[in-house]
Amino acid sequence: SAMVHVVIVSFPAPGHINPTLQFAKVLLQRGIQITFGTTVQAQAYIASSTTTDGISFATVSDGFDSEADVNNSEPHYPRRYERYGSASLAELIRSLTASGHPVDCVAFNFLLPWAARVAHEHGIPSALIWPQPVSVLALYYHYLFTCPESFADLSKEIQLPCLPPLVTEDLPSFFLPGNTHPHAIPMLREMFDNIHENKCGWAFTNSFDALEEDVIASLREHKINATGIGPLIPSLTPKTIKQAVKEAGKKEEIACNGAHEKPAISNDQNAASEEKKPEPSEQDNKPKKSELVEWLDAKPAGSVVYVSFGSIADVKSLQIDELAAGLMGIDHPFVWVIRPPADYPGFPAGFEDVVEKRGMVVRWCAQVEVLNHPAVGGFVTHSGWNSTLEGLVSGKPMVCVPQWSDQATNAKIVSHKWKTGLRGRKNDKGVIEREEFKRCVGLLMGEESGKEMRENAAKYKELAKLAIQEGGSSDLNIKAFIEALQPQPAVAAAPPPPPVEEHKERTME
Protein backbone atom coordinates (compact mmCIF):
# COMPACT_ATOMS: atom_id res chain seq x y z
CA SER A 1 0.00 0.00 0.00
CA ALA A 2 3.02 2.32 0.34
CA MET A 3 3.02 2.60 -3.47
CA VAL A 4 -0.51 4.05 -3.56
CA HIS A 5 -0.59 7.84 -3.91
CA VAL A 6 -3.77 9.85 -3.28
CA VAL A 7 -4.07 13.58 -3.97
CA ILE A 8 -6.74 15.16 -1.77
CA VAL A 9 -8.09 18.56 -2.81
CA SER A 10 -10.11 20.69 -0.38
CA PHE A 11 -12.22 23.80 -0.68
CA PRO A 12 -10.45 26.38 1.54
CA ALA A 13 -13.00 26.71 4.35
CA PRO A 14 -12.70 25.14 7.83
CA GLY A 15 -15.87 23.06 7.54
CA HIS A 16 -14.46 21.48 4.37
CA ILE A 17 -10.81 21.22 5.42
CA ASN A 18 -11.46 19.57 8.79
CA PRO A 19 -12.99 16.23 7.69
CA THR A 20 -10.93 16.14 4.49
CA LEU A 21 -7.66 16.49 6.38
CA GLN A 22 -8.81 13.92 8.90
CA PHE A 23 -9.45 11.49 6.02
CA ALA A 24 -5.92 12.23 4.78
CA LYS A 25 -4.55 11.28 8.20
CA VAL A 26 -6.58 8.06 8.25
CA LEU A 27 -5.18 7.03 4.87
CA LEU A 28 -1.66 8.04 5.90
CA GLN A 29 -1.88 5.78 8.95
CA ARG A 30 -2.70 2.90 6.58
CA GLY A 31 0.42 3.42 4.50
CA ILE A 32 -0.96 5.62 1.71
CA GLN A 33 1.16 8.46 0.30
CA ILE A 34 -0.81 11.71 0.62
CA THR A 35 -0.51 15.02 -1.20
CA PHE A 36 -2.97 17.58 0.17
CA GLY A 37 -3.86 20.36 -2.24
CA THR A 38 -5.55 23.62 -1.31
CA THR A 39 -4.94 27.37 -1.41
CA VAL A 40 -1.97 29.22 0.07
CA GLN A 41 -4.19 30.79 2.74
CA ALA A 42 -5.73 27.47 3.74
CA GLN A 43 -2.28 25.93 4.09
CA ALA A 44 -1.40 28.69 6.58
CA TYR A 45 -4.57 27.85 8.51
CA ILE A 46 -3.67 24.16 8.64
CA ALA A 47 -0.05 24.82 9.63
CA SER A 48 -1.15 27.01 12.55
CA SER A 49 -3.77 24.61 13.80
CA THR A 50 -2.68 20.97 13.68
CA THR A 51 0.18 18.57 13.13
CA THR A 52 0.47 17.12 9.66
CA ASP A 53 3.62 14.99 9.81
CA GLY A 54 3.92 12.75 6.78
CA ILE A 55 1.50 14.70 4.58
CA SER A 56 2.89 16.63 1.60
CA PHE A 57 1.19 19.91 0.78
CA ALA A 58 0.76 21.51 -2.62
CA THR A 59 -0.93 24.67 -3.81
CA VAL A 60 -4.09 24.35 -5.84
CA SER A 61 -4.38 28.01 -6.66
CA ASP A 62 -7.41 30.28 -6.48
CA GLY A 63 -5.48 33.11 -8.15
CA PHE A 64 -4.99 34.91 -4.82
CA ASP A 65 -1.68 33.30 -3.85
CA SER A 66 -0.04 36.56 -2.76
CA GLU A 67 -3.05 37.96 -0.85
CA ALA A 68 -3.65 37.40 2.85
CA ASP A 69 -7.29 38.45 3.12
CA VAL A 70 -9.43 36.31 0.79
CA ASN A 71 -13.21 36.04 1.21
CA ASN A 72 -13.99 32.49 0.10
CA SER A 73 -17.62 32.86 1.22
CA GLU A 74 -18.20 35.47 -1.51
CA PRO A 75 -20.85 34.08 -3.92
CA HIS A 76 -18.64 33.99 -7.01
CA TYR A 77 -15.53 32.60 -5.31
CA PRO A 78 -16.23 28.89 -6.10
CA ARG A 79 -16.35 29.58 -9.83
CA ARG A 80 -13.14 31.59 -9.60
CA TYR A 81 -11.53 28.69 -7.77
CA GLU A 82 -12.72 26.38 -10.54
CA ARG A 83 -11.11 28.60 -13.18
CA TYR A 84 -7.70 28.78 -11.52
CA GLY A 85 -7.84 25.51 -9.60
CA SER A 86 -8.52 23.30 -12.64
CA ALA A 87 -5.32 24.41 -14.35
CA SER A 88 -3.38 24.29 -11.09
CA LEU A 89 -4.52 20.72 -10.28
CA ALA A 90 -3.71 19.52 -13.79
CA GLU A 91 -0.21 20.96 -13.49
CA LEU A 92 0.20 19.34 -10.05
CA ILE A 93 -0.73 15.91 -11.45
CA ARG A 94 1.75 16.31 -14.32
CA SER A 95 4.49 17.50 -11.96
CA LEU A 96 4.00 14.61 -9.52
CA THR A 97 4.06 12.10 -12.38
CA ALA A 98 7.23 13.60 -13.82
CA SER A 99 8.94 13.44 -10.41
CA GLY A 100 8.24 9.72 -10.03
CA HIS A 101 5.14 10.03 -7.84
CA PRO A 102 2.22 9.22 -10.15
CA VAL A 103 -1.25 9.78 -8.75
CA ASP A 104 -3.54 6.78 -8.20
CA CYS A 105 -6.63 8.72 -7.11
CA VAL A 106 -7.85 12.30 -6.69
CA ALA A 107 -10.22 12.82 -3.73
CA PHE A 108 -12.10 16.10 -3.45
CA ASN A 109 -14.87 17.65 -1.43
CA PHE A 110 -18.09 19.57 -2.04
CA LEU A 111 -17.88 22.64 -4.34
CA LEU A 112 -15.01 21.11 -6.35
CA PRO A 113 -16.76 18.96 -9.01
CA TRP A 114 -14.14 20.13 -11.51
CA ALA A 115 -11.52 18.04 -9.68
CA ALA A 116 -13.27 14.88 -10.91
CA ARG A 117 -13.20 16.22 -14.44
CA VAL A 118 -9.47 17.01 -14.27
CA ALA A 119 -8.73 13.55 -12.85
CA HIS A 120 -10.81 11.89 -15.58
CA GLU A 121 -8.93 13.81 -18.28
CA HIS A 122 -5.69 12.34 -16.89
CA GLY A 123 -7.06 8.80 -16.69
CA ILE A 124 -7.12 8.86 -12.88
CA PRO A 125 -10.07 7.65 -10.74
CA SER A 126 -11.60 10.13 -8.29
CA ALA A 127 -13.57 10.09 -5.06
CA LEU A 128 -16.02 12.61 -3.61
CA ILE A 129 -15.68 13.38 0.11
CA TRP A 130 -19.15 14.62 1.09
CA PRO A 131 -18.81 16.76 4.26
CA GLN A 132 -22.48 16.67 5.35
CA PRO A 133 -24.85 13.87 6.40
CA VAL A 134 -26.04 11.34 3.83
CA SER A 135 -29.56 12.63 4.51
CA VAL A 136 -28.65 16.03 3.06
CA LEU A 137 -26.94 14.38 0.08
CA ALA A 138 -30.20 12.49 -0.54
CA LEU A 139 -32.24 15.67 -0.15
CA TYR A 140 -30.20 17.43 -2.84
CA TYR A 141 -30.46 14.40 -5.13
CA HIS A 142 -34.24 14.24 -4.87
CA TYR A 143 -34.49 18.00 -5.40
CA LEU A 144 -32.41 17.83 -8.59
CA PHE A 145 -33.39 14.48 -10.11
CA THR A 146 -36.18 12.31 -8.71
CA CYS A 147 -38.92 14.71 -7.61
CA PRO A 148 -38.17 18.40 -8.21
CA GLU A 149 -41.93 19.00 -8.37
CA SER A 150 -42.13 18.27 -4.62
CA PHE A 151 -40.22 21.48 -4.01
CA ALA A 152 -42.35 23.68 -6.30
CA ASP A 153 -44.52 24.94 -3.44
CA LEU A 154 -42.40 25.41 -0.33
CA SER A 155 -45.47 26.22 1.75
CA LYS A 156 -46.40 22.53 1.63
CA GLU A 157 -44.89 19.67 3.60
CA ILE A 158 -42.33 17.62 1.64
CA GLN A 159 -42.22 13.83 1.98
CA LEU A 160 -39.01 12.09 0.87
CA PRO A 161 -37.79 8.50 1.34
CA CYS A 162 -36.25 7.80 4.77
CA LEU A 163 -36.46 11.44 5.90
CA PRO A 164 -38.89 13.05 8.34
CA PRO A 165 -41.53 15.35 6.79
CA LEU A 166 -39.87 18.65 5.88
CA VAL A 167 -41.23 22.20 5.87
CA THR A 168 -39.57 25.38 4.65
CA GLU A 169 -37.62 26.01 7.85
CA ASP A 170 -36.08 22.52 7.58
CA LEU A 171 -34.61 22.99 4.10
CA PRO A 172 -31.05 23.97 3.15
CA SER A 173 -30.75 27.71 2.60
CA PHE A 174 -29.71 27.08 -1.02
CA PHE A 175 -33.35 26.14 -1.79
CA LEU A 176 -34.88 29.32 -0.44
CA PRO A 177 -35.74 32.54 -2.29
CA GLY A 178 -33.17 34.56 -0.34
CA ASN A 179 -30.28 32.27 -1.33
CA THR A 180 -27.11 34.35 -1.66
CA HIS A 181 -25.00 31.52 -3.13
CA PRO A 182 -26.42 30.83 -6.61
CA HIS A 183 -23.39 28.68 -7.53
CA ALA A 184 -24.25 25.91 -5.06
CA ILE A 185 -27.10 24.14 -6.88
CA PRO A 186 -25.39 24.05 -10.32
CA MET A 187 -22.24 22.67 -8.68
CA LEU A 188 -24.28 20.01 -6.91
CA ARG A 189 -25.77 19.01 -10.25
CA GLU A 190 -22.27 18.74 -11.75
CA MET A 191 -21.21 16.62 -8.77
CA PHE A 192 -24.04 14.13 -9.34
CA ASP A 193 -23.47 14.18 -13.11
CA ASN A 194 -19.86 13.12 -12.51
CA ILE A 195 -21.14 10.12 -10.56
CA HIS A 196 -23.73 9.23 -13.22
CA GLU A 197 -21.09 9.47 -15.97
CA ASN A 198 -18.59 7.33 -14.00
CA LYS A 199 -16.11 10.19 -13.75
CA CYS A 200 -16.26 9.80 -9.96
CA GLY A 201 -15.92 6.28 -8.61
CA TRP A 202 -16.70 6.80 -4.92
CA ALA A 203 -19.06 8.99 -2.90
CA PHE A 204 -17.59 8.95 0.60
CA THR A 205 -19.58 10.54 3.42
CA ASN A 206 -18.52 11.77 6.83
CA SER A 207 -21.09 9.52 8.45
CA PHE A 208 -21.44 5.83 9.35
CA ASP A 209 -23.78 3.06 8.33
CA ALA A 210 -25.62 2.58 11.62
CA LEU A 211 -26.52 6.27 11.71
CA GLU A 212 -28.04 6.54 8.21
CA GLU A 213 -28.35 2.98 6.92
CA ASP A 214 -31.83 3.47 5.43
CA VAL A 215 -30.85 6.64 3.53
CA ILE A 216 -27.69 4.99 2.20
CA ALA A 217 -29.76 2.07 0.89
CA SER A 218 -32.30 4.37 -0.76
CA LEU A 219 -29.58 6.32 -2.60
CA ARG A 220 -28.01 3.12 -3.88
CA GLU A 221 -31.29 2.37 -5.64
CA HIS A 222 -30.46 5.44 -7.76
CA LYS A 223 -26.86 4.31 -8.41
CA ILE A 224 -25.45 6.79 -5.87
CA ASN A 225 -23.13 4.54 -3.89
CA ALA A 226 -22.89 6.62 -0.72
CA THR A 227 -20.24 5.05 1.51
CA GLY A 228 -19.73 5.96 5.17
CA ILE A 229 -16.13 6.48 6.26
CA GLY A 230 -16.81 8.49 9.41
CA PRO A 231 -16.97 9.80 11.91
CA LEU A 232 -14.02 11.89 10.71
CA ILE A 233 -13.63 14.02 13.80
CA PRO A 234 -11.45 17.02 13.01
CA SER A 235 -8.37 17.75 15.07
CA LEU A 236 -8.20 21.36 13.96
CA THR A 237 -9.04 24.16 16.32
CA PRO A 238 -11.86 26.45 15.16
CA LYS A 239 -9.88 29.44 13.95
CA THR A 240 -10.87 31.14 10.74
CA ILE A 241 -8.45 31.06 7.83
CA LYS A 242 -8.18 34.85 8.02
CA GLN A 243 -7.08 34.61 11.67
CA ALA A 244 -4.52 31.94 10.84
CA VAL A 245 -2.94 34.02 8.09
CA LYS A 246 -2.77 37.07 10.36
CA GLU A 247 -1.33 35.03 13.21
CA ALA A 248 1.33 33.22 11.19
CA GLY A 249 4.42 33.16 13.34
CA LYS A 250 2.50 33.85 16.55
CA LYS A 251 1.21 31.77 19.42
CA GLU A 252 -2.18 32.58 20.96
CA GLU A 253 -3.47 31.58 24.38
CA ILE A 254 -6.43 29.24 24.03
CA ALA A 255 -8.76 30.04 26.90
CA CYS A 256 -9.64 33.23 28.68
CA ASN A 257 -11.83 33.62 31.71
CA GLY A 258 -14.52 36.23 31.53
CA ALA A 259 -14.66 38.48 28.48
CA HIS A 260 -10.96 39.32 28.20
CA GLU A 261 -8.51 37.92 25.68
CA LYS A 262 -4.93 37.19 26.63
CA PRO A 263 -2.28 38.81 24.45
CA ALA A 264 -0.45 36.91 21.74
CA ILE A 265 3.19 35.92 22.28
CA SER A 266 5.56 35.94 19.34
CA ASN A 267 7.74 32.98 18.49
CA ASP A 268 10.83 35.14 18.94
CA GLN A 269 9.84 35.85 22.53
CA ASN A 270 9.21 32.17 23.13
CA ALA A 271 12.60 31.22 21.69
CA ALA A 272 14.40 33.75 23.87
CA SER A 273 12.66 32.56 27.01
CA GLU A 274 13.27 28.90 26.19
CA GLU A 275 17.03 29.49 26.00
CA LYS A 276 17.03 30.49 29.68
CA LYS A 277 15.01 27.48 30.85
CA PRO A 278 16.76 24.53 32.52
CA GLU A 279 16.37 21.02 31.12
CA PRO A 280 12.72 19.95 31.56
CA SER A 281 12.01 17.48 34.33
CA GLU A 282 9.81 14.41 33.99
CA GLN A 283 6.96 16.44 35.51
CA ASP A 284 7.45 19.20 32.93
CA ASN A 285 7.11 16.67 30.12
CA LYS A 286 3.62 15.65 31.21
CA PRO A 287 0.82 17.31 29.19
CA LYS A 288 -0.48 20.40 30.93
CA LYS A 289 -4.22 20.90 31.21
CA SER A 290 -5.70 24.07 29.83
CA GLU A 291 -7.36 26.53 32.17
CA LEU A 292 -10.71 25.53 30.67
CA VAL A 293 -10.23 21.79 31.33
CA GLU A 294 -9.14 22.48 34.91
CA TRP A 295 -12.31 24.56 35.35
CA LEU A 296 -14.42 21.70 33.98
CA ASP A 297 -12.67 19.20 36.26
CA ALA A 298 -14.14 21.04 39.24
CA LYS A 299 -17.76 20.74 38.01
CA PRO A 300 -20.21 17.87 38.69
CA ALA A 301 -20.77 15.30 35.94
CA GLY A 302 -23.33 16.38 33.35
CA SER A 303 -23.87 19.81 34.87
CA VAL A 304 -22.25 22.14 32.30
CA VAL A 305 -23.93 23.64 29.22
CA TYR A 306 -21.53 24.16 26.32
CA VAL A 307 -22.51 26.86 23.79
CA SER A 308 -20.78 27.35 20.43
CA PHE A 309 -22.06 28.52 17.05
CA GLY A 310 -19.06 27.35 15.05
CA SER A 311 -15.87 28.79 13.69
CA ILE A 312 -17.21 31.12 11.01
CA ALA A 313 -20.78 31.84 12.10
CA ASP A 314 -21.49 35.57 12.05
CA VAL A 315 -23.26 36.04 15.38
CA LYS A 316 -25.24 39.29 15.54
CA SER A 317 -24.84 41.68 18.46
CA LEU A 318 -28.53 41.25 19.31
CA GLN A 319 -28.08 37.46 19.39
CA ILE A 320 -25.06 37.80 21.67
CA ASP A 321 -27.13 39.92 24.08
CA GLU A 322 -29.97 37.38 24.09
CA LEU A 323 -27.62 34.44 24.66
CA ALA A 324 -25.87 36.29 27.49
CA ALA A 325 -29.23 37.06 29.11
CA GLY A 326 -30.32 33.46 28.64
CA LEU A 327 -27.14 32.16 30.28
CA MET A 328 -27.72 34.53 33.18
CA GLY A 329 -31.20 33.05 33.56
CA ILE A 330 -30.25 29.37 33.84
CA ASP A 331 -28.91 27.64 36.94
CA HIS A 332 -26.26 25.58 35.20
CA PRO A 333 -22.54 26.37 34.87
CA PHE A 334 -21.65 27.11 31.26
CA VAL A 335 -18.87 27.42 28.70
CA TRP A 336 -19.53 29.86 25.87
CA VAL A 337 -17.32 30.12 22.79
CA ILE A 338 -17.93 33.55 21.28
CA ARG A 339 -16.02 36.04 19.16
CA PRO A 340 -18.03 39.26 19.29
CA PRO A 341 -17.82 41.59 16.27
CA ALA A 342 -15.45 44.53 16.50
CA ASP A 343 -18.32 46.98 17.05
CA TYR A 344 -19.96 44.98 19.84
CA PRO A 345 -20.50 47.44 22.75
CA GLY A 346 -20.13 44.86 25.51
CA PHE A 347 -22.02 42.19 27.43
CA PRO A 348 -25.18 43.12 29.37
CA ALA A 349 -24.86 44.51 32.89
CA GLY A 350 -24.25 41.81 35.45
CA PHE A 351 -23.04 39.21 32.96
CA GLU A 352 -19.40 39.27 34.00
CA ASP A 353 -20.47 38.75 37.63
CA VAL A 354 -22.33 35.59 36.55
CA VAL A 355 -19.27 34.42 34.60
CA GLU A 356 -17.16 34.90 37.69
CA LYS A 357 -19.49 32.64 39.68
CA ARG A 358 -20.33 29.85 37.24
CA GLY A 359 -19.18 30.53 33.70
CA MET A 360 -16.26 30.47 31.30
CA VAL A 361 -16.20 32.59 28.14
CA VAL A 362 -13.53 31.80 25.54
CA ARG A 363 -12.77 32.92 22.02
CA TRP A 364 -12.03 29.37 20.94
CA CYS A 365 -11.30 25.98 22.47
CA ALA A 366 -10.54 22.36 21.61
CA GLN A 367 -14.19 21.44 21.05
CA VAL A 368 -13.77 17.66 20.88
CA GLU A 369 -11.94 17.70 24.21
CA VAL A 370 -14.61 19.86 25.83
CA LEU A 371 -17.53 17.81 24.50
CA ASN A 372 -15.94 14.60 25.75
CA HIS A 373 -15.44 15.99 29.25
CA PRO A 374 -17.78 14.25 31.72
CA ALA A 375 -18.82 17.59 33.23
CA VAL A 376 -20.51 18.69 29.99
CA GLY A 377 -24.16 17.63 29.91
CA GLY A 378 -25.54 19.50 26.90
CA PHE A 379 -24.46 21.28 23.72
CA VAL A 380 -26.07 24.40 22.22
CA THR A 381 -24.95 24.39 18.59
CA HIS A 382 -25.48 26.03 15.19
CA SER A 383 -25.88 22.48 13.81
CA GLY A 384 -23.02 22.54 11.34
CA TRP A 385 -22.32 18.91 10.46
CA ASN A 386 -18.84 18.79 12.00
CA SER A 387 -20.21 20.07 15.31
CA THR A 388 -23.30 17.86 15.11
CA LEU A 389 -21.16 14.78 14.50
CA GLU A 390 -18.83 15.73 17.35
CA GLY A 391 -21.87 16.03 19.62
CA LEU A 392 -23.12 12.59 18.55
CA VAL A 393 -19.73 10.94 18.96
CA SER A 394 -19.36 12.54 22.40
CA GLY A 395 -22.81 11.31 23.44
CA LYS A 396 -24.07 14.81 24.19
CA PRO A 397 -27.69 15.89 23.57
CA MET A 398 -28.11 19.15 21.68
CA VAL A 399 -30.13 22.34 21.38
CA CYS A 400 -30.01 23.16 17.67
CA VAL A 401 -29.98 26.79 16.51
CA PRO A 402 -29.29 26.50 12.75
CA GLN A 403 -28.02 29.47 10.76
CA TRP A 404 -27.71 28.52 7.06
CA SER A 405 -26.71 25.89 4.44
CA ASP A 406 -27.42 22.31 5.63
CA GLN A 407 -27.82 23.27 9.29
CA ALA A 408 -31.63 23.46 9.33
CA THR A 409 -31.90 19.94 7.88
CA ASN A 410 -29.32 18.65 10.35
CA ALA A 411 -31.39 20.13 13.19
CA LYS A 412 -34.53 18.41 11.89
CA ILE A 413 -32.82 15.01 11.74
CA VAL A 414 -31.33 15.45 15.22
CA SER A 415 -34.67 16.39 16.75
CA HIS A 416 -37.12 14.19 14.78
CA LYS A 417 -35.19 11.13 13.58
CA TRP A 418 -32.28 10.44 15.90
CA LYS A 419 -34.04 12.26 18.77
CA THR A 420 -30.80 13.37 20.37
CA GLY A 421 -31.85 16.99 20.78
CA LEU A 422 -34.40 19.70 20.13
CA ARG A 423 -34.57 22.78 17.96
CA GLY A 424 -34.62 26.31 19.34
CA ARG A 425 -37.11 28.61 17.63
CA LYS A 426 -35.90 31.96 16.32
CA ASN A 427 -37.95 35.14 16.05
CA ASP A 428 -38.62 37.05 12.81
CA LYS A 429 -35.17 38.68 13.11
CA GLY A 430 -33.45 35.28 13.10
CA VAL A 431 -32.59 35.45 16.81
CA ILE A 432 -33.25 32.88 19.52
CA GLU A 433 -34.57 34.97 22.41
CA ARG A 434 -33.56 34.53 26.03
CA GLU A 435 -36.81 32.89 27.14
CA GLU A 436 -36.69 30.35 24.30
CA PHE A 437 -33.04 29.66 25.11
CA LYS A 438 -33.89 29.03 28.75
CA ARG A 439 -36.85 26.79 27.77
CA CYS A 440 -34.68 24.64 25.51
CA VAL A 441 -31.82 24.32 27.98
CA GLY A 442 -34.30 23.43 30.72
CA LEU A 443 -35.74 20.61 28.61
CA LEU A 444 -32.31 19.39 27.52
CA MET A 445 -30.81 19.29 31.00
CA GLY A 446 -33.96 18.18 32.84
CA GLU A 447 -33.82 14.83 34.61
CA GLU A 448 -37.03 13.55 33.00
CA SER A 449 -37.45 15.83 29.97
CA GLY A 450 -33.90 15.15 28.76
CA LYS A 451 -33.78 11.44 29.56
CA GLU A 452 -34.69 10.10 26.09
CA MET A 453 -32.29 12.52 24.37
CA ARG A 454 -29.42 11.47 26.64
CA GLU A 455 -30.16 7.77 26.11
CA ASN A 456 -30.25 8.16 22.34
CA ALA A 457 -27.06 10.23 22.37
CA ALA A 458 -25.32 7.52 24.39
CA LYS A 459 -26.52 4.89 21.89
CA TYR A 460 -25.09 6.71 18.88
CA LYS A 461 -21.85 7.34 20.72
CA GLU A 462 -21.34 3.60 21.02
CA LEU A 463 -22.39 2.93 17.41
CA ALA A 464 -19.90 5.56 16.19
CA LYS A 465 -17.09 3.84 18.09
CA LEU A 466 -17.99 0.49 16.57
CA ALA A 467 -17.96 1.95 13.04
CA ILE A 468 -14.31 2.99 13.20
CA GLN A 469 -13.00 -0.01 15.12
CA GLU A 470 -11.23 -2.89 13.38
CA GLY A 471 -13.92 -4.66 11.36
CA GLY A 472 -16.43 -1.82 11.76
CA SER A 473 -18.39 -0.52 8.77
CA SER A 474 -16.26 2.58 8.16
CA ASP A 475 -13.04 0.63 8.71
CA LEU A 476 -14.08 -1.96 6.13
CA ASN A 477 -15.18 0.71 3.64
CA ILE A 478 -11.79 2.44 3.85
CA LYS A 479 -9.98 -0.89 3.47
CA ALA A 480 -12.03 -1.67 0.36
CA PHE A 481 -11.09 1.70 -1.13
CA ILE A 482 -7.39 1.10 -0.53
CA GLU A 483 -7.58 -2.42 -1.96
CA ALA A 484 -9.23 -1.05 -5.11
CA LEU A 485 -6.26 1.30 -5.60
CA GLN A 486 -3.61 -1.36 -5.08
CA PRO A 487 -1.62 -2.26 -8.18
CA GLN A 488 -2.90 -5.58 -9.40
CA PRO A 489 -0.21 -8.27 -9.77
CA ALA A 490 0.43 -9.33 -13.32
CA VAL A 491 -1.10 -12.67 -14.13
CA ALA A 492 1.61 -15.01 -15.36
CA ALA A 493 0.88 -16.79 -18.61
CA ALA A 494 -0.10 -20.37 -18.04
CA PRO A 495 2.62 -22.85 -19.09
CA PRO A 496 1.85 -24.88 -22.21
CA PRO A 497 0.31 -28.26 -21.51
CA PRO A 498 2.65 -31.26 -21.66
CA PRO A 499 2.66 -33.16 -24.95
CA VAL A 500 0.07 -35.87 -25.11
CA GLU A 501 1.69 -39.28 -25.46
CA GLU A 502 0.14 -41.55 -28.02
CA HIS A 503 -1.75 -44.32 -26.28
CA LYS A 504 -0.90 -47.73 -27.60
CA GLU A 505 -3.25 -50.55 -26.85
CA ARG A 506 -1.64 -53.91 -26.09
CA THR A 507 -2.66 -56.48 -28.65
CA MET A 508 -3.85 -59.78 -27.27
CA GLU A 509 -2.33 -62.75 -28.92
State the Cα angle at 313 between 312 and 317, rounded to 5°: 125
Apex CA 18: angle with CA 390 and CA 11, to 5°? 140
pLDDT in tens, 442-460: 999 999 999 999 999 999 9
Q: In percent, how much of the chain has pLDDT > 90?
A: 72
Which pLDDT belongs to residue 288?
A: 58
pLDDT of amino acid 69: 78
Across the range 196-218, mean pLDDT stands at: 96
Reported as a single tens digit per residue, the pLDDT across 67-104 is: 877 888 888 899 999 999 999 999 999 999 999 999 99
Residue 506 above 80 pLDDT?
no
d(CA 371, CA 306): 8
Residue 210 has what pLDDT?
97
pLDDT at 233: 84
Q: Of residues 494 and 205, which shows the higher confidence score?
A: 205
Query: For residue 401, which of 372, 417, 378 has the smallest C-alpha distance?
Result: 378
User: Sorting pLDDT into bands at 50, 70 and 90, what band is 181?
Assistant: confident
Query: What's the pLDDT score for residue 245?
Result: 42
What is the per-residue DSSP string for 125-191? -EEEEE-S-HHHHHHHHIIIII-GGGGS-TTS-B--TTS--B-GGGS-GGGSTT-S-TTHHHHHHHH
Region of poorest pLDDT, from 219-228, 258-267, 272-281, 478-487: 258-267
CA distance 447 to 40: 49
Tell me whether residue 45 is exposed, middle or buried, using C-beta atoms within 10 angstroms of its C-beta: 0 to 12, 13 to 18, 19 or more: buried
- Tell me what pLDDT residue 52 has: 83
Give the HSE-up count for residue 105: Cα atoms under 13 Å, Cβ half-sphere: 25
Q: How far is CA 199 from the centre of its chain?
A: 24
pLDDT, averaged across the chain: 86
- Residue 247 scores a pLDDT above 80: no
In the three-class reduction of DSSP (H, G, I as helix; E, B as strand; rest coil), residue 202 is classed as: strand
The mean pLDDT value for 402-408 works out to 93
Q: What pLDDT score does 243 carry?
A: 46
The model's pLDDT over 472-496, given as tens digits with 9 standing for 90+, comes to: 999 999 999 999 999 876 555 566 6
Q: What is the pTM of this model?
A: 0.85
- Is the predicted pLDDT of residue 273 greater than 90, yes or no? no
Distance CA 194, CA 201 (A): 9
The pLDDT assigned to 467 comes to 96
Does position 26 have pLDDT exceeding 70, yes or no? yes
Domains (range + CATH), the chain: 5-237 (3.40.50.2000), 255-262+286-462 (3.40.50.2000)
Please give the pLDDT value at position 313. 60
5 in catalytic set: no
> Which residue in 16, 142, 181, 382 is the catalytic one?
16
Query: What pLDDT band is residue 66 in, cutting at 50, 70 and 90?
Result: confident
Mean pLDDT of 223-248: 64
| Residues in Cβ contact with 25 at an 8 Å cutoff, skipping those fewer than 6 apart | 52, 55, 235
Q: Which of 44, 39, 42, 47 is nearest to 63 (CA)?
A: 39
Q: Which of 502, 417, 8, 44 is nearest to 236 (CA)?
A: 44
pLDDT band, residue 110 (cuts 50/70/90) = confident
**Burial status of residue 439 (CB atoms within 10 A of its CB: 0-12, 13-18, 19 or more):** middle
Can you give the pLDDT at residue 490? 58
Report, as an integer, the average pLDDT of 40-45. Answer: 91
Look at residue 234 in the predicted model and tell me its pLDDT. 59
**pLDDT mean over 24-40:** 96
pLDDT grade, residue 202 (50/70/90)?
very high
Q: Find the helix or strand (DSSP H, E) in which 195 lies.
A: helix 184-196
Nearest to 216 by CA among 478, 476, 483, 473: 473
Work out the pLDDT band at 373, boundaries 50, 70, 90: very high
Q: Is the pLDDT of residue 127 over 90?
A: yes
Mean pLDDT of 118-124: 98
